[in-house]
């Protein structure tokens, strides 16, 4: 009997499960449960609720994630022989915290009840603040001050204090809901919570997801006493243990064997965050490779050998060893769409026609491509800024310069955290644009690839991490993440951009407010 491996991704909007068969190097099944559509009783919109009084406050419900887990297993068990699954791992939206009033919450299951009914008495809060919550600026300032300044926090935790990260969220709840904080015995992350449920035992948080808390010292992989002190009282006693992402947390609980036919020897590999999981599922967990997801926000991931933090980036532990960098850009697809509309052209013109037979030549045309305040780098903006254009110029020139501006900005931020990658994997909607792909290749001097088959990268990465109980992670990346090359760097163009980078940097500097 060939073993199968299951990866589960608990993301913001849905819960997805992917089953892989390493014998055949194929994805055998993929099922998903959509929180808003399939669990309307929780009243979420796209998986979250936003406070009507304060739009910066955003939360979700851990009980909903559990209901979704059962729905997912019911769906999967229709097409997969669950007995053949020999290991399970998973990932979760990063930063979300789950608040429990007992350290023993996971030790008892009543088979006649659903998971959420079993767990409900153990929640000290029924809500979980999620990564979209940005209501903790005061707590970020307070923690930065008491931990010795932003550079100290950056060096210790890999990120400056960040509103959505768990540390600031925990501090806010400890201040505003002191009674809840006092009666809370355990604060899990989404990832370690679902992992604990699956093995009916208190599971550790892996180093990679813990890097998104501003509480772990990323150099010694331990809770940092000063960060904990600056956050809330007696916090260490409430946090799970920390563990390497390779740790086997336990075996699957009887509850799931009885209800969904799992094999009782199925191992559970500790869960991690969705971004560390994605870097594996995209085949980019080895150094020298980067992945760029072009979407509502553009997200750049790369594996890093050395720890070189930057205020605009987040450095996390990498499930495949050493570090990974994550840089988010707010001015992304919506900005591209807005600019396309301003130019009055369709997507075909914007993506292809404007770049047909185009080879950059030295000129001083520049666009700072920001329609809204940017986070990488942090700057305020409400419209693009132009330089070096003659009074009347072609739409093609404007479009190319706008895209160049976006890619050059990404390049400049990436340069701060490590060597420039020589292999870039593009994913997401805009990755189909040949003009954008060629601009990435030329600005970075790198070859640009796309994945041959598109999967939920976090869930696939989780299945691959489960399979890493028996297979090497690098072998799994070549099995499940085959690439096709879409564009090559043209050295002549890279030379031109090398000069333009400096001009862009100067313009950026003089416009940061
Ligand atoms: C990363 C982040 C999001 C969440 C949800 O810092 O906030 O990517 O992990 O996907």
DSSP string, 122-181: GBS-S-EE-TT----HHHHHHHHHHTT-HHHHHHHHSS---TTSHHHHHHHHHHHTHHHH
Whose structure tokens read 């879409």? 486
Could you give the C-alpha distances from 73 to 16, 69, 461, 463, in angstroms and in order? 10, 6, 18, 15
The last residue of a domain, from among 225, 242, 276:
276
- Of 226, 423, 217, 231, which Cα lies nearest the Cα of 309? 217
Ligand 1: residues with CB < 6 A are 12, 93-95, 131, 164, 212, 273-275, 314
Q: Are residues 242 and 304 in the same domain?
A: no
Is the torsion defined by CA of 60, 62, 63, 66 positive or negative? positive
Q: What is the pLDDT of residue 1?
A: 66
Q: Are residues 292 and 268 in the same domain?
A: no
Pairing of the two strands 289-294 and 314-317: unpaired
Q: Are residues 128 and 110 in the same domain?
A: yes
- Cα 326 to ligand 1 centroid, rounded to whole Å: 10
- For residue 299, the ligand 1 atom closest to its alpha carbon is 8
Six-digit token pair at 98? 């789950």
Q: How far apart are CA 344 and CA 346, in angstroms?
A: 7
Task: Identify the domain containing residue 255 by its residue range.
Answer: 4-276
- For residue 164, the ligand 1 atom closest to its alpha carbon is 7
- Cα 93 to ligand 1 centroid, rounded to whole Å: 6
Q: Are residues 270 and 287 in the same domain?
A: no
Asked whether 33 and 72 are in contact (CB, 8 A), the reply is: yes
Asked whether 375 and 508 are in contact (CB, 8 A), the reply is: no
Asked whether 309 and 154 are in contact (CB, 8 A), the reply is: yes
Q: Which of 9, 92, 128, 131 to mutate to test the pocket of ligand 1 (most atoms within 8 A of CB)?
A: 131
Q: Are residues 249 and 299 in the same domain?
A: no
- Cα 330 to ligand 1 centroid, rounded to whole Å: 13
Name the residue with the closest Cα to ligand 1, atom 6: 94
Q: Are residues 230 and 349 in the same domain?
A: no
Q: Which of 95, 133, 165 to mutate to test the pocket of ligand 1 (most atoms within 8 A of CB)?
A: 95
Name the residue with the closest Cα to ligand 1, atom 10: 93
Q: What is the pLDDT of residue 513?
A: 63
Asked whether 119 and 63 are in contact (CB, 8 A), the reply is: yes
Six-digit token pair at 372? 């809204």
Q: Which of 94, 191, 206 to mutate to test the pocket of ligand 1 (most atoms within 8 A of CB)?
A: 94
Q: Are residues 261 and 302 in the same domain?
A: no
Q: Are residues 210 and 305 in the same domain?
A: no
Six-digit token pair at 172? 């806010």
- For residue 273, the ligand 1 atom closest to its alpha carbon is 9
Q: How far apart are CA 437 and CA 382, in angstroms?
A: 26
- Cα 226 to ligand 1 centroid, rounded to whole Å: 25
The last residue of a domain, from among 276, 291, 320:
276
Q: How far apart are CA 457 and CA 448, in angstroms?
A: 18
Tally of domains within the chain: 2
- Cα 257 to ligand 1 centroid, rounded to whole Å: 32
- Cα 209 to ligand 1 centroid, rounded to whole Å: 10
Q: What is the pLDDT of residue 296?
A: 82
Asked whether 292 and 376 are in contact (CB, 8 A), the reply is: no
Residue 318's CB: how many other CB atoms inside 10 A? 26
Name the residue with the closest Cα to ligand 1, atom 1: 94
Greatest CA separation for the chain: 74
Q: How far apart are CA 408 and CA 115, in angstroms?
A: 48
Helix count and strand count (H, E) for the chain: 19, 27
Q: How far apart are CA 401 and CA 446, in angstroms?
A: 19
- Cα 262 to ligand 1 centroid, rounded to whole Å: 30
- Cα 110 to ligand 1 centroid, rounded to whole Å: 34
- Residue 218's CATH number: 3.30.420.40
The last residue of a domain, from among 227, 253, 276:
276
Vertex 326 angle, CA 328 and 313, to 5°: 75
Q: What is the pLDDT of residue 286?
A: 86
Per-residue pLDDT tens listing for the chain (513 residues) = 689 999 999 999 999 999 999 999 999 999 999 999 999 999 999 999 999 999 999 999 999 999 999 999 999 999 999 999 999 999 999 999 999 999 889 987 899 999 999 999 999 999 999 999 999 999 999 999 999 999 999 999 999 999 999 999 999 999 999 999 999 999 999 999 999 999 999 999 999 999 999 999 999 999 999 999 999 999 999 999 999 999 999 999 999 999 999 999 999 999 999 999 999 999 999 878 999 998 888 999 999 999 999 999 999 999 999 999 999 999 999 999 999 999 999 999 999 999 999 999 999 999 999 999 998 998 999 999 999 999 999 999 999 999 999 999 999 999 999 999 999 999 877 678 999 999 999 999 999 999 988 889 999 999 999 999 999 999 999 999 999 999 999 999 999 999 999 999 999 998 876
DSSP code for 353? G
Asked whether 309 and 159 are in contact (CB, 8 A), the reply is: yes
Q: Are residues 161 and 192 in the same domain?
A: yes
Question: Quick one: which H or E segment has residue 99?
Answer: strand 97-100
Whose structure tokens read 């690839």? 449
- Cα 94 to ligand 1 centroid, rounded to whole Å: 5
- Cα 359 to ligand 1 centroid, rounded to whole Å: 36
Asked whether 327 and 312 are in contact (CB, 8 A), the reply is: yes
Name the residue with the closest Cα to ligand 1, atom 5: 93
Q: Are residues 159 and 231 in the same domain?
A: yes
Q: How far apart are CA 323 and CA 316, in angstroms?
A: 6
- Cα 344 to ligand 1 centroid, rounded to whole Å: 33
- For residue 274, the ligand 1 atom closest to its alpha carbon is 9
Question: Quick one: which H or E segment has residue 400?
Answer: helix 395-415
Q: Are residues 135 and 57 in the same domain?
A: yes
Q: Are residues 228 and 327 in the same domain?
A: no
Q: Which of 273, 457, 461 to mutate to test the pocket of ligand 1 (most atoms within 8 A of CB)?
A: 273
Name the residue with the closest Cα to ligand 1, atom 9: 94
Q: Which of 128, 164, 457 to mutate to test the pocket of ligand 1 (most atoms within 8 A of CB)?
A: 164
Torsion of CA 405, 426, 372, 497, to 10 degrees: -10
- Cα 426 to ligand 1 centroid, rounded to whole Å: 18
Six-digit token pair at 174? 């400890």
Name the residue with the closest Cα to ligand 1, atom 7: 131
First to last CA, the chain: 63
Asked whether 314 and 302 are in contact (CB, 8 A), the reply is: no
- Cα 28 to ligand 1 centroid, rounded to whole Å: 27
Residues 6+ apart with CB under 8 A from 322: 287, 303, 304, 305, 306
Q: What is the DSSP string of 287-354?
A: TTEEEEEESSSEEEEEEESS----TT-EEEE-TTSSEEEEEEESSSHHHHHHHHHHHT--HHHHHTGG
- Of 321, 310, 90, 327, which Cα lies nearest the Cα of 207? 321
- Of 445, 455, 438, 460, which Cα lies nearest the Cα of 411? 445
- Cα 186 to ligand 1 centroid, rounded to whole Å: 22
- For residue 314, the ligand 1 atom closest to its alpha carbon is 6
Asked whether 258 and 194 are in contact (CB, 8 A), the reply is: no
Whose structure tokens read 């940092």? 224
Q: What is the pLDDT of residue 511?
A: 83
């Amino acid at each position: 009997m060939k073993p199968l491996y299951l990866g589960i991704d608990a993301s913001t909007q849905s819960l997805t499960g992917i089953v892989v068969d390493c014998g055949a190097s194929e994805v055998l099944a993929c099922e998903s449960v959509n929180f808003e559509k399939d669990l309307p009783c929780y009243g979420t919109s796209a998986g979250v609720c936003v406070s009507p009084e304060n739009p910066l406050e955003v939360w979700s419900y851990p009980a909903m994630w559990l209901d979704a887990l059962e729905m997912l297993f019911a769906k999967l068990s229709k097409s997969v022989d669950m007995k053949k699954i020999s290991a399970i791992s998973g990932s979760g939206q990063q930063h979300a915290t789950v608040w429990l009033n007992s350290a023993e919450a996971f030790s008892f299951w009543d088979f006649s009840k659903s998971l959420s009914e079993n767990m409900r008495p153990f929640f000290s809060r029924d809500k979980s603040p999620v990564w979209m919550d940005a209501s903790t600026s005061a707590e970020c300032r307070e923690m930065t001050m008491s931990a010795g300044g932003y550079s100290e926090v950056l060096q210790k935790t890999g990120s400056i204090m960040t509103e959505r990260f768990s540390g600031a969220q925990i501090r806010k709840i400890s201040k505003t809901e002191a009674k809840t904080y006092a009666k809370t015995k355990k604060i899990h992350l989404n990832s370690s919570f679902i992992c604990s449920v699956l093995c009916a035992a208190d599971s550790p948080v892996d180093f990679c997801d813990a890097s998104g808390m501003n509480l772990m010292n990323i150099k010694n992989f331990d809770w940092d006493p000063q960060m904990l002190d600056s956050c809330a009282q007696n916090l260490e006693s409430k946090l799970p243990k920390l563990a390497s992402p390779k740790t086997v947390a336990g075996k699957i609980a009887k509850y799931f064997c009885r209800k969904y036919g799992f094999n009782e020897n199925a191992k559970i590999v500790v869960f991690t965050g969705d971004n560390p999981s994605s870097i594996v599922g995209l085949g980019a967990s080895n150094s020298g490779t980067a992945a760029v997801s072009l979407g509502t926000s553009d997200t750049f991931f790369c594996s890093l050998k050395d720890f070189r933090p930057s205020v605009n980036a987040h450095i996390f532990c990498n499930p495949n060893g050493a570090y990974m960098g994550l840089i988010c850009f707010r001015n992304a697809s919506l900005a591209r769409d807005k600019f396309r509309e301003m130019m009055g052209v369709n997507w075909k013109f914007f993506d292809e026609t404007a770049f047909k037979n185009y080879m950059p030549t030295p000129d001083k045309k520049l666009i700072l491509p920001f329609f809204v305040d940017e986070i990488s780098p942090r700057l305020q903006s409400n419209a693009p800024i132009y330089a070096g254009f003659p009074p009347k110029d072609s739409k093609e020139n404007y479009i190319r310069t706008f895209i160049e501006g976006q890619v050059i900005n990404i390049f400049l931020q990436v340069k701060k955290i490590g060597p420039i990658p020589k292999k870039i994997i593009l994913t997401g909607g805009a990755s189909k644009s040949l003009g954008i792909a060629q601009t990435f290749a030329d600005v970075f001097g790198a070859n640009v690839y796309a994945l041959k088959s598109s999967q939920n990268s976090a869930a696939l990465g989780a299945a691959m991490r489960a399979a890493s109980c028996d297979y090497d992670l690098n072998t799994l990346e070549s099995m499940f993440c085959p690439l096709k090359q879409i564009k090559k760097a043209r050295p002549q163009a890279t030379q031109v951009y090398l000069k333009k980078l400096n001009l862009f940097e100067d313009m950026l500097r003089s416009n940061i407010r």
